Amino acid sequence: MNNVSEEKVPILVIGRHPEILATVVRLVNNNPAWNATGCITDEEAIHHFDNQPCSLVLLGGGIPPESEQQLSDYFLSRNPQIKIVQHYGGGSGLLAAEIYEALR
C-alpha cells in the first residue's frame, strides 16, 4: 500500500496580464503535484495569501517593482519561510525548473 500524501503544493501566482497569468497557472497546474491560483491585483493576492496557505509565491511580469517589494515584504512578514520566485517568462521548462529549485 502506498502512503504517500496526495497533498498538492499550493502556489500563488501573481501577474498583471490576465492572458499570461491564465497560461502560467495552467502550466503550473500541468504538474500533478502542484496547485496554482492566479491573482491580478495586490489586494487580491494579499487576500488569497491570508486565507489560503501557500508554499510558494510566483511573481510574474508586469508587476511594478514597488508592488513586488511591498508584496514580498508582506508575505515574508506573515510567513518567513515562504519562497518567492520572480518569473518573467521563458517557457514551461524554465518555469518548472524555477519552481522545483524554490521548493528544494
Chain mean position to CA 34? 10
Distance, in Å, from the CA atom of 94 to the CA atom of 49, rounded to the nearest integer, reads 24
In one letter, which amino acid is 53? P
Q: Which residues neighbour 69 within 8 Å (Cβ) at sequence distance 6 or greater? A: none
CATH T-level assignment (fold) for domain 9-103: Rossmann fold (3.40.50)
Contact 69, 45 (CB under 8 A): no
Q: Supply 75's cell numbers.
A: 508575505
Nearest Cα to Cα of residue 53 among 83, 28, 31, 26 = 83
Stated as kind and residue range, the H or E segment containing 35 is strand 34-39
In this prediction, residue 61 has a pLDDT band, given cuts at 50, 70 and 90, of: confident
Provide the residue ranges of all domains of the chain, joining segments of one domain with +: 9-103
Q: What is the arithmetic mean of pLDDT over 45-60?
A: 96
Average of per-residue pLDDT values in the chain: 91
pLDDT at 1: 47
How much is the pTM? Answer: 0.90
